[in-house]
């Protein structure tokens, strides 16, 4: 098992403030699974408008958080070092619980299918050990040069 700090996360994925949503990785088994943490605070800029009297993390940003955690797992694989992972699809997304300021979001990622440079991951988020979100994400891994 490996734990990664925020700076180590930034060494793997290209996301930066204000769209870096993973605070750290709790545990990881490369090429297999990962658990990462996102601390949801009232200081997130999206809470100003979503919604002013009832702040809720937007579903699309929850999916982005899931994709970032998946990218960390994917790009920690020796075969994908130095590359970039792109989400190509979302299947079976279910939103079971609102995510609010003060919540600690635990993101669980498990590799699904992998063929060459594309595949799937299964991702769930939990708050207080209760399932908040689940989805299957499709991805492709590419050299930065190919993405241009």
> How would you write the pLDDT of the chain (148 residues) with one tens digit per residue?
569 999 999 999 999 999 999 999 999 999 999 999 999 999 999 999 999 899 999 999 999 999 999 999 999 999 998 999 999 999 999 999 999 999 999 999 999 999 999 999 999 999 999 999 999 999 999 987 544 4
Active site residue 108: no
Q: Measure the N-to-C terminal CA separation of the chain; round to a whole number of Å.
A: 35
Q: Which candidate, 14, 136, 104, places its Cα nearest to that of 68? A: 14
Which pLDDT belongs to residue 148? Answer: 44
The set of residues, in sequence order, having a beta carbon less than 8 Å from that of 74 and lying 6+ positions away, is: 80, 85, 119, 121, 139, 141
Residue 96 to residue 67: CA distance in whole angstroms:
18
The 8-class DSSP code of residue 98 comes to -
Cβ-count burial of 29 within 10 angstroms (0-12 exposed, 13-18 middle, 19+ buried)? middle
Looking at 3.40.50.720, 3.10.20.30, 3.10.129.10, 3.10.105.10, the CATH number of the domain 6-147 comes to 3.10.129.10
Which pLDDT belongs to residue 145? Answer: 56
Catalytic residue among 15, 23, 31, 50: 50
Residue 33 to residue 110: CA distance in whole angstroms:
4
Q: What pTM was estimated for this model as a whole?
A: 0.94
Alpha-carbon Rg for the chain, nearest whole angstrom, is 15
The 8-class DSSP code of residue 130 comes to E
């Amino acid at each position: 098992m490996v734990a990664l700090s925020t700076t180590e996360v930034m060494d793997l994925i290209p996301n930066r403030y204000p769209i870096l949503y993973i605070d750290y990785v709790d545990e990881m088994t490369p090429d297999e699974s990962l658990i990462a943490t996102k601390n949801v605070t009232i200081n997130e800029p999206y809470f100003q408008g979503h919604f002013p009297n009832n702040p809720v993390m937007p579903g699309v940003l929850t999916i982005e958080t899931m994709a970032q955690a998946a990218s960390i797992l994917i790009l920690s694989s020796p075969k994908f070092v130095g590359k970039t992972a792109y989400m190509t699809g979302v299947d079976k997304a279910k939103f079971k619980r609102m995510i609010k300021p003060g919540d600690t979001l635990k993101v669980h990622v498990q590799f699904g299918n992998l063929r060459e440079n594309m595949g799937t991951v299964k991702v769930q988020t939990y708050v207080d050990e209760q399932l908040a979100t689940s989805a299957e994400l499709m991805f492709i891994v590419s050299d930065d040069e190919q993405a241009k």
